[in-house]
Amino acid sequence: MQFAQINGITLHYQIIGAPEGRPVLVFANSLGTDFRIWRDVIVRLVGEVGIVLYDKRGHGLSDAPDGPYAIDDHVADLAGLLDHLEIRKATICGLSVGGMIALGLFRDRPELVRSLILCDTAPKIGTEKLWNDRIDTVRDKGLAALADPVMERWFTADFRRPDNAEYLGYRNMLTRQPVAGYAGTCAAIRDADLTDVARTLTVPASCVVGD
């Protein structure tokens, strides 16, 4: 396991090298997940590109300071990690809030961004009420109270079988994230609007969405 002190917190990350001259691909996770979600992607890419995976603050094995957080916090953490790893330019692949972090990185540190892959994301996600209600639920009842509706958005009914060990594993990943980190990142999404950034991108960007 690999860890770094960035902006006063410990970030958990993994770097997988590639032959010299290959581009670098950085993965930024969605809310309530850690970097293990990318396993089936990275096994197809090892050796083709350099790969950076990391758990954003409040998730996985990274520190989970008390919130609320701001998207700017997550952006500064990613920028700090890339500086720590001496990565000068990379493609950023962001899922959901990870896509917002990718947009924020382009806004604040455009020299680091070669291109963007924006997965199931938007420059603004949800409403203030939606996120406030979710924060209240998580704080009062824990992440297990959200597990079923979240899983319904992530996976098909056929995949959500009670005998599907893979499904149960993803559910465990969600419910075992730190409450402080989940609620803190909900606040970051609630308060973020990167519409103007998305309208003024000057790097290649691919958008990927699942049904």
**Spatial CB neighbours of 23, under 8 Å, sequence gap ≥ 6:** 49, 50, 90, 91, 114
pLDDT the model gives residue 211: 73
pLDDT the model gives residue 181: 98
CA–CA separation, 49 vs 90, rounded Å? 10
Asked if residue 131 has pLDDT above 90, the reply is yes
CA–CA separation, 80 vs 187, rounded Å? 21
Domain range for 145: 2-208
Question: Residue 9: is it exposed, middle or buried by C-beta count within 10 angstroms (0-12/13-18/19+)?
Answer: middle
Indicate the pLDDT class of residue 206, thresholds 50, 70 and 90: very high
**pLDDT digit string, tens, across residues 138-174:** 999 999 999 999 999 999 999 999 999 999 999 999 9
Average pLDDT, the chain: 97
Asked if residue 68 has pLDDT above 80, the reply is yes
Is the sign of the CA dihedral 128, 208, 86, 44 positive or negative?
positive
Q: 93 has which bridge partners? A: 27, 117
**pLDDT digit string, tens, across residues 37-50:** 999 999 999 999 99
Q: Where are the alpha helices (DSSP H) in 65-209?
A: 71-84, 97-108, 128-141, 144-154, 165-175, 179-191, 195-199
Which CATH number belongs to the domain containing residue 49 in this structure? 3.40.50.1820
Q: 14 has which bridge partners? A: 53
Choose between 108 and 210: higher pLDDT: 108
Indicate the pLDDT class of residue 60, thresholds 50, 70 and 90: very high
How many domains, in total, are found in the chain?
Answer: 1
| Residue given tokens 């958990």 in the structure block | 12
In this structure, the chain runs to a length of: 211
C-alpha closest to that of 17 among 54, 55, 53, 46:
46
Which contiguous run of DSSP H or E holds residue 39? helix 39-42
Measure CA of the first residue to CA of the last residue in the chain; give whole Å.
34
